[in-house]
Amino acid sequence: MKKLILVAVALVASVTMNVAVAGDAAAGKAKSAACGGCHGFDGNSPIPMYPKLAGQNEAYIAKQVKDFKANTTRQNAIMLGMVAALSDEDAADIGAYFQAQTLKSAATFDESKIAAGRDIYKGGDMQKGIPACQACHGPKGAGTAGIGYPQLGGQYTEYTLAQLKAFKDGSRTNDDKMLMRSIVEKMSDDDLVAVANYIASLK
């Protein structure tokens, strides 16, 4: 058993290292110039409807580029045009650049929603069958880079809520093994709002 655990840890470490060095951040800086209008040139979007990418893990960004380009499981007309000419190498480089940037906390949130959001994020809701968000995204919302779970902490409330709703109504389906969809389908609208506000408060 101990040997199996050690092998598993080694594999996770290997995946994490591969993710960390796959892209070229220096090359990604130039390639990401077109992203700056919406996401900010350092990945700190000034517009709440567009996500902050600063500090986001490379694997997640590269996957989203691929999914937007395929235009099936994640569709957005603006993003489709932006990523159409990007190669996998370009996506990795852009991901590496944004991963290397520092997230600035500028998201606003409703203080009255924080307590309820914290309860769900930290502990889930056993009665509804909702697992704790931090199990995948971490206690501070930093994500799990090695397996591509995204950083959430400090993200705009508006953007996070829009994505949760998209998973719930089925307009976004690029979650692995329907993981997000199986969770948000059990959440009420109030739950989604509370969690989105709590996520925005994380630093």
The pLDDT tens digits for 18-45 are 344 489 999 999 999 999 999 999 999 9
Name the CA radius of gyration of the chain, rounded.
17
Q: What is the mean pLDDT of residues 98-119?
A: 94
Q: What is the mean pLDDT of residues 100-114?
A: 92
Which residue in this structure is represented by tokens 């960390």? Answer: 20
36 Cα distance to chain centroid: 18
Structure confidence at residue 14 as a pLDDT band (50, 70, 90) = very low
Q: At what angle do helices 58-70 and 88-99 cross, to 10 degrees?
A: 140
Q: What is the per-residue pLDDT for 147?
A: 86
Tens-digit pLDDT profile for residues 59-84: 999 999 999 999 999 999 999 999 99
Q: What is the mean pLDDT of residues 163-187?
A: 98
Q: What is the per-residue pLDDT for 22?
A: 86
Beta bridge partners of 172: 74
Q: What is the per-residue pLDDT for 19?
A: 42
Residues of the chain with CATH 1.10.760.10: 2-99, 111-201
Structure confidence at residue 17 as a pLDDT band (50, 70, 90) = very low
Structure confidence at residue 107 as a pLDDT band (50, 70, 90) = confident
Cβ neighbours for 83, distance < 8 A, ≥ 6 positions apart: 65, 68, 69, 91
CA 186 to each of CA 114, 120, 123, 130, 194: distance values in angstroms, whole numbers, following the listed order: 19, 12, 15, 7, 14
Distance CA(195)–CA(56), nearest Å, equals: 19
* Model confidence at 58: pLDDT above 60: yes
pTM equals 0.88
Which residue in this structure is represented by tokens 């996957």? Answer: 63
Comparing 15-24, 95-104, 106-115, 157-166, which segment has the lowest mean pLDDT? 15-24
Q: What is the CATH number of domain 111-201?
A: 1.10.760.10
* Model confidence at 10: pLDDT above 90: no
CATH superfamily, with its number, for domain 2-99: Cytochrome c-like domain (1.10.760.10)
